[in-house]
Amino acid sequence: MTDTQDTLSIGAFACASRLSLKALRLYDDLGLLPPDRVDPDTGYRFYAPAQIGTARLIGLLRTVEMPLADIRALLDAPAHEQAGRVEAHWREAQALHLQRAAVARHLIHTLRGDPMPTSYEVQSRDVPAQTVLTTQRRVFLPDLSAYIGASMDRLHAEVQAQGAEVAGPPVVIYHGEVNADSDGPVEVCVPYRGPVQPGGDFTAREEPAHTEAFVTVRKADFEYHELMAAYDAVDRHARAHGTRTGLSCREVYPYDWDAAGPDDPAGEVACPYQPRG
């Protein structure tokens, strides 16, 4: 495989771009960086010198762990938008780093048996059976907050549009873990009274009566990594005072989220259980 005056072999292009042969073949397969031409007889790839800049850009973007799909979108975007896309990716990456650091601190405290930095006063209450309008979806952590907020708005609007009455605060039930690898599912519920005919992705069902341990969480602590301490607290209380039931842990939102300041209560974390005796 030899270079020509105006093209580079894949080996020469790999040296010039500082990308591996494996990476170049992958980027070709994905349409990110196709060669300038492919020899029809040998299948050898040849690249134009003008492609070196794009190749180095892709390599740098992968260094900051930009996903390949996002790189594809950046390369297709107008030049004046590309820096903004890098800025948006880096903001998300920094937020993810802070989240992972907080999770690591939580794990270290837990494994050492240290006191948790945030302590909660756990209370218990009896929750009556209630009819709820719900929507459920599998969702990963980056999309969780947006899904919860949009679903609450849709459910409230549907209850009111059908002439029924919202009968309690919204509840978000986690039927499985939500993190980088697990997607729930997550069920958003709004209690109601009156006639409602569910349709589309909405379901009406009865949430059974139960006892639950709960803590109040201020808005500043309503992040995944901060909430772990709250979930641990209610789970420990439930197991110490009874047995866990088949009902999943949940978050309850009886407060005005938008009006709450960082130190104001914004919601509750609850764990259903069967009390002893």
Per-residue confidence (pLDDT) for residue 97, from 0 to 100: 83
CA distance 35 to 49: 11
pLDDT for residue 72 is more than 80: yes
pLDDT for residue 225 is more than 90: no
Range from 36-45, 81-90, 219-228 carrying the lowest mean pLDDT: 219-228
CA distance 246 to 231: 16
Task: Convert the pLDDT of each residue in 23-53 to its tens digit.
Answer: 999 999 999 999 999 988 898 999 999 999 9
The neighbouring-strand residues paired with 123 are: 214
Mean pLDDT of 148-161: 97
Give this prediction's pTM.
0.68
Per-residue confidence (pLDDT) for residue 118, from 0 to 100: 63
Residue of 105 and 120 predicted with greater confidence: 120
Sequence letter at residue 12: A
Residue of 41 and 124 predicted with greater confidence: 124
How high is the mean pLDDT of the chain? 91
Residue of 1 and 159 predicted with greater confidence: 159
pLDDT for residue 3 is more than 80: no
32 Cβ contact list (under 8 Å, min separation 6): 58, 68, 71, 72, 75
DSSP letter (8 states) at residue 7? B
Per-residue confidence (pLDDT) for residue 70, from 0 to 100: 94
Alpha helix locations (H) across the chain?
10-17, 21-29, 52-63, 68-76, 79-112, 144-161, 224-241
At 155, the pLDDT band (50, 70, 90 cuts) reads very high
Per-residue confidence (pLDDT) for residue 71, from 0 to 100: 95
At 224, the pLDDT band (50, 70, 90 cuts) reads low
Q: What region does 134 belong to: left with phi over 0, alpha with psi -120 to 50, or beta?
A: beta
Sequence letter at residue 76: D
Per-residue confidence (pLDDT) for residue 116, from 0 to 100: 60
What is the distance between the terminal CA atoms of the chain, rounded to a whole angstrom? 81
* Type and span of the H or E element at 135: strand 130-137
Q: Look up residue 226 and give its two tokens.
A: 């901060």
pLDDT for residue 2 is more than 70: no
Range from 108-112, 123-127, 200-204 carrying the lowest mean pLDDT: 108-112
Q: Look up residue 192 and give its two tokens.
A: 């109601």
For residues 234 and 122, the answer to whether their CB atoms sit within 8 Å is: yes
Range from 136-150, 179-193, 225-239 carrying the lowest mean pLDDT: 225-239
